[in-house]
């Protein structure tokens, strides 16, 4: 199964999970679950932006963009961070104006278990194919899905605590408290994302000499080509590698293309953060 197909399948599963959470939260008046469903919708949107960014980011460098299109990863993550911040505002609004009169029952408990099973399936699929294809996109998506899995576990804990709410001597709405904690977490995550990616945009196109040394050492294993110029540019959490090679006239095109594929495969196997590798014969 190809990378894009895996992402699309997990996107569909994330959308099913988000809808299931939202509908259940509204029907059973479960404030924390509604807040958690918003985060699941966020997972779905992140998958879409990541897929689009991955398509654009892999375009070859040109005269207009000599360092490629890697900056699109910053823009995609910045968009996600801003959207997440707005979601945090919505969750706070919900905290003050949503009554959250949860009445625990078996159906809701079963729904939460189904959601946890679906999320665990998504995490396992992304981890398996992420390692198989050495795809940072899927590995990052698996981390986000795992975070959503943990947040659903928190929702389940809140649900269990509400069962003992009648024995609580202090007048505290555990459900609403859970949604407030969810809002604080969302704000923390969004602000962190916004700061990181704004900084990335402002300091973009900087060459990374430390990683460049790693690339030079690995390229020294390929004696068939003479490497003239090597640049390693940090793009968001990833790296773009630009290599100029001098090709022997006796080397056939078929042989050259085979060596080029080997170099790309080798570098990506050594460092999964190498998202884009451009090799230009001169």
pLDDT digits (tens, 9 = 90+) for 155-171: 898 888 887 766 665 56
Chain-centroid distance of CA 175 in Å reads 28
Cβ atoms 126, 146 nearer than 8 A: no
- pLDDT at residue 235 in the model: 63
Cβ atoms of residues 20 and 114 within 8 Å: yes
Q: How many residues does the chain have?
A: 282
pLDDT digits (tens, 9 = 90+) for 217-253: 888 888 778 888 888 877 656 677 888 888 777 778 7
CB–CB of 223/263 below 8 Å?
no
Give the torsion sign (CA, 217, 218, 223, 229): negative
Distances in whole angstroms, Cα of residue 93 to Cα of each of 86, 96, 144, 222: 11, 5, 24, 59
Question: Whose CA is closest to 36, among 46, 45, 24?
Answer: 24
Rounded to the nearest 10 degrees, the angle between the axes of helix 174-202 and helix 31-57 is 20
pTM of structure: 0.65
Tell me the pLDDT tens digit for each residue of 80-114.
Answer: 788 878 888 888 887 777 766 777 788 999 999 99
**At residue 139, does pLDDT exceed 80?**
no
């Amino acid at each position: 199964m190809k990378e894009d197909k895996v992402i699309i399948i997990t996107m569909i599963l994330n959308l099913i999970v988000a809808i299931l959470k939202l509908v259940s939260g509204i029907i059973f008046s479960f404030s924390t679950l509604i807040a958690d469903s918003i985060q699941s919708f966020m997972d779905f949107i992140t998958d879409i932006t990541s897929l689009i960014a991955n398509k654009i980011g892999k375009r070859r460098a040109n005269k207009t963009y000599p360092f490629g299109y890697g900056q699109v990863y910053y823009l995609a993550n910045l968009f996600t961070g801003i959207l997440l911040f707005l979601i945090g505002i919505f969750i706070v609004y919900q905290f003050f104006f949503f009554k959250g009169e949860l009445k625990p029952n078996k159906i809701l408990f079963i729904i939460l278990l189904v959601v946890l099973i679906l999320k665990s399936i998504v995490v396992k699929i992304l981890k398996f194919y992420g390692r198989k294809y050495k795809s940072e996109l899927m590995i990052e998506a698996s981390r986000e899905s795992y975070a959503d899995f943990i947040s659903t576990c928190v929702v389940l804990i809140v649900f269990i605590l509400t069962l003992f709410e009648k024995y609580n001597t202090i007048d505290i709405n555990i459900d609403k408290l859970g949604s407030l904690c969810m809002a604080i977490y969302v704000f923390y995550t969004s602000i962190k994302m916004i700061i990181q990616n704004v900084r990335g945009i402002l300091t973009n196109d900087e060459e990374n000499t430390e990683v460049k040394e790693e690339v030079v050492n690995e390229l020294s294993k390929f004696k068939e080509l003479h490497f003239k110029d090597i640049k390693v540019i940090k793009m968001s959490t990833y790296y773009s590698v630009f290599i100029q090679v001098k090709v022997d006239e006796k080397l056939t095109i078929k042989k050259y293309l085979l060596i080029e594929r080997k170099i790309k495969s080798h570098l990506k196997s050594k460092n999964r953060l190498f998202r884009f590798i451009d090799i230009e014969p001169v």
